[in-house]
Amino acid sequence: MGNVDYGKNNVKNSKTRERLTIFTLALPMFIWSFSAGIVTISLPTISQYLDIGTGMVSWVVVAHLIILTSFLLIFGRLGDYIGYKKVFLYGILLFTIGSYFCGISLDIFQLIASRIFQGVGSAMMLSMTPALVSSNFEHHRRGWAFGYISLATTLALALGYGVGSFITENMGWHWIFFSTVPMGIFAIYMVRTVIPHEEITKKRPKFDLAGSLLVFLAVMNLILPLELGKTIGWTSPLIMGTFSLSVIITVIFFVWESRQACPLFDVSLLKNLQLSFSITAAFLISTVLTGTIFLLPFYLELVMGYSTDFAGLLILAPTLLIIFAGPISGRVSDKFGSRIPTIIAGITLTVALILFTLLDQTIGIVFIFIALAVRSLSEGIFSPANTKQVMSHSKAEKMGSVSSLLNTGKYLGLVMGVVLFETVFEATIKTNSSNIEGMTSNGAFQMSAPVNTLLTGFHDAFLMGVVISILILIFILLSHENSEIENSEVPSKPEDL
């Protein structure tokens, strides 16, 4: 009888430890997404307060994401060298310090500089999350784990809209950054206490410093001209030259990496078409999800005339559907495979973007809610299934590299989403309002643009989203999970804390 009780206690302790582990790993993701939500909903207020246009205020998001994306591969590989937990911990620390400096910023330039610093910390902790999940959970439990990670991130994003709008309306935009500082301190304590250190091989090859520099320059020279092109002209020598330089550096990077004994990025990973298709789908869906949520607060406030706090609550409410969608998607992925949930996610995203193209000044609040709900369902369903699908193609010794490659795709999509949707929106309203008397293209010009002009800008941006959504469906249909992965590939880890 005692043996039976002992077995039950072991099972109970194992489940408790498993839940505590996933809570601890999800916590930093929650904080990052919460921060993303409060920043996004506050952008119209920051734009008006500092008298800057959508192009300049978008740098509060874009600058952070450029640094984040540029360093993901670097820190992903570094995690393979020095340990995932160590990189994860320092990332949370830098992100928390960066949040404080954002809060004390006095102008847009200080704010952008602080967001750049914060981006380094974001890259460190986000690049490690899939690897830490994969190294702490067996394959048949990873869908469940990624489901709760998705739940935490999307729920946090939604709460960020609601809480951020309240803070911005009642306390000022500076406080949206201070709110994440105590959360970051708590996350550091939990990670130090709960997550075990993984075993690291003492004999390690030299870190690929040249590859790190090349990938950083390639990403920077790709994104910067996308953001600056609408200001100084797409055909200007500077923009064309920077694009060309990005292509050249990328080619040099791939040639260099293919000749390294232990490269920063294993080029052979791209030979796996299933892995490439899955990551491309993640990149594109991230682009659409981020681009739409960047523009929606402007639509709700400038076209519908809603206050910042009401707009935040309206975005928050339907997003709570993720509480059910994320975990269910993870469990379905574990039981039936990830293909079915990803296809459903692709279809619902396309429907959501079609609904967004129908938004106008007379549309009812119920229609807006439904469109936001369909978008949220797509986001919640896709992430855990796609992450499990990608990581199924990873060998144990390459989990950090595959994890960072996936996150590079996702967060490059975040940058591209803001840049592409904002560029189409701003270019459209500038073109259509160029002959309107009293309209200028300086400062917060979108605040004085006619409603019909604003609606044309939103329509064009969302129509582009429909086209991208169709491409997403194609890549999803081409993707498959590697069902032959063995549980023995999970790296060993200490049982004691």
Q: Residue range 184-188: average pLDDT? A: 93
CA atoms of 439 and 7, how far apart (whole Å): 74
What type of residue sits at position 402? Answer: V
Q: DSSP secondary structure string, 420-468?
A: HHHHHHHHHHHHHTTTSTT--SSSSGGGGS-HHHHHHHHHHHHHHHHHH
Tokens matching residue 11: 């099972």
In what helix (H) or strand (E) does residue 486 lie, and over which residues does it extend? none
CA atoms of 71 and 46, how far apart (whole Å): 27
As separate numbers, helices (DSSP H) first and strands (DSSP E) second, the chain gives 17, 0
> Residue 204 has what DSSP assignment?
-
Between residues 401 and 303, which one has the greater pLDDT?
A: 303
Tokens matching residue 397: 């010794």
pLDDT digits (tens, 9 = 90+) for 380-429: 888 888 888 887 776 665 666 677 677 778 877 877 887 788 888 887 87
Please name the residues in contact with 133: beta carbons below 8 A apart, sequence gap of 6 or more.
Answer: 22, 25, 142, 145, 146, 149, 391
> Residue 105 has what DSSP assignment?
-
pLDDT at 223: 75
Task: Look at residues 415, 430, 439, 469 and name the one whose alpha carbon lies nearest to residue 222.
Answer: 415
- Banded model confidence at residue 188, pLDDT cuts 50, 70, 90: very high
Give residue 427's region: left, alpha or beta (phi > 0; psi -120 to 50): alpha
Share the mean pLDDT of the chain.
79
* Whole-number percent of the chain with pLDDT over 90: 15
Look at residue 16 and tell me whether its pLDDT is greater than 90.
Answer: no
CA atoms of 110 and 116, how far apart (whole Å): 10
Distances 339 to 38, 117, 336, 344, 382 between C-alpha atoms, Å: 33, 38, 8, 9, 10
pLDDT at 43: 79
Kindly report the backbone phi and psi dihedral angles of residue 460, in degrees, each rounded to the nearest multiple of 5, phi listed first.
Answer: -65, -40
In terms of Cβ atoms closer than 10 Å to its own Cβ (0-12, 13-18, 19+), residue 367 is: middle
pLDDT at 271: 77
Please name the residues in contact with 304: beta carbons below 8 A apart, sequence gap of 6 or more.
Answer: 311, 361, 368
pLDDT digits (tens, 9 = 90+) for 197-216: 766 555 566 667 787 788 77
At residue 38's C-alpha, the angle toward residues 37 and 42, to 5°, is 115
pLDDT at 494: 32
End-to-end distance of the chain based on CA atoms, in angstroms?
Answer: 29
Asked if 276 contacts 270 with a C-beta cutoff of 8 angstroms, the reply is yes
Look at residue 6 and tell me whether its pLDDT is greater than 50.
Answer: no
Q: In the chain, what are the helix, strand and coil shares in percent, each to the nearest 5? A: 80, 0, 20
CA atoms of 228 and 246, how far apart (whole Å): 15
- Banded model confidence at residue 1, pLDDT cuts 50, 70, 90: very low
* Whole-number percent of the chain with pLDDT over 70: 84
Q: Which of 6-20, 47-61, 241-255 has the lowest mean pLDDT?
A: 6-20
* pTM score: 0.70
Between residues 341 and 43, which one has the greater pLDDT?
A: 341
pLDDT digits (tens, 9 = 90+) for 422-451: 888 887 877 766 565 555 544 445 555 677
- Banded model confidence at residue 489, pLDDT cuts 50, 70, 90: very low
pLDDT at 347: 94
Q: Which of 7-16, 177-186, 350-359 has the lowest mean pLDDT?
A: 7-16
Look at residue 169 and tell me whether its pLDDT is greater than 90.
Answer: no
Q: Residue range 472-484: average pLDDT? A: 84
pLDDT digits (tens, 9 = 90+) for 311-325: 777 877 777 777 777
Sign of the CA dihedral with 385 first, then 392, 343, and 473 last: positive
Asked if 289 contacts 352 with a C-beta cutoff of 8 angstroms, the reply is no
